[in-house]
Amino acid sequence: MKVLLPTFCVMLAITSIVMGNIHWKGKISEASISEPATKNPEVETSKASPHREDLINYIGNWPKESQELYKQRLSEGKPFKLLLVGSNSLGNETYNLPDDLADQLDTTYGDTVQVDGLIYDLMSSQFVLQNKQEDLIEAKADLILLEPFTIKDNGNVPIDESLANITSIIKDVTSDRKETQFMLQPPNPLYKATYYPNQVKELEKYAKSNKIPYLNHWSNWPDLSSENMKDVLNEDRELPNENGYKIWSLYLEEFFIKQS
């Protein structure tokens, strides 16, 4: 009995734990009936997904085609795939725009929007010659926000050629996957730049003439000639520092999450 009694107690305790666990899982299952599934239901059972009506209210700034496709993805129970593509203006190992935007959108959209990024240390001509468009095709994105390597092209690739490369990239991707929509955005501004701002203005004109949505986040940055620009760029004054990325990220966040 000295051996059996402890054994019986242990078995009784295990049985109580198992039954309690089954009862708890039953409660979770009942609660999950009225809520959409999360990324990992067993881990994130306390995280409720927003209602469809609320989600649709947030997409008011999106291109019309993307709004309709997002609604379709909701009906299909699939995530809407947003892909940020561009030069290393978009970020580095320490901080990058795609990851930051992914975190921000996850708070609002949950797993109904998937944000990824592809960053290349290339000029637009190199990107096209190396056929990197295949990476974009393989990503199967619903919406691509492209920073078309303008900062890398600056002083290296003529504006006309740079714009022609954008046309080539978009054509190659959309001819393979017609659902994919494109938006354009400039890279980061530079302190007291001269030729570069003109190149960015041509990019904006190109977007307008081709009816491609253009996200002008420069409106949120300090004036290029202002000393404050030094506070939002890295030591080389070529790329954003953390403060600069916060300015950029906030602009994108406010675009992709429309507030009523």
pLDDT tens, residue order, the chain (260 aa):
333 444 433 343 434 433 444 333 333 233 322 333 334 443 343 344 567 878 999 999 999 999 999 999 999 999 999 999 999 999 988 888 999 999 999 999 999 999 999 999 999 999 999 999 999 999 999 999 999 999 999 999 999 999 999 999 999 999 999 999 999 999 999 999 999 999 999 999 999 999 999 999 999 999 999 999 999 999 999 999 999 999 999 999 999 999 87
Residue type, 209: S
Domains of the chain (ranges plus CATH)? 50-256 (3.40.50.1110)
Report d(CA 153, CA 56) in Å as an integer: 38
pLDDT at res. 94: 82
Q: Helix and strand tally (H, E) in the chain?
A: 10, 4
Name the token pair of 24: 């708890």
Number of alpha carbons in the 13 Å side-chain half-sphere of residue 30: 6
Cβ-Cβ contacts under 8 Å for 128 (sequence gap 6 or more)? 165, 168, 169
Per-residue pLDDT, 146: 98
What pLDDT is recorded for position 50?
62
Nearest to 212 by CA among 185, 179, 248, 245: 185
Q: How are strands ordered across the β-sheet holding 113-120?
A: 113-120, 80-87, 143-146, 181-184
Rounded to an integer, what distance in angstroms lies between the CA atom of residue 208 and that of residue 124?
20
Looking at residue 7, its pLDDT comes to: 40
This model's pTM is above 0.75: yes
Cross-strand partners of 83 = 116, 144
Is residue 236 helix, strand or coil?
A: coil
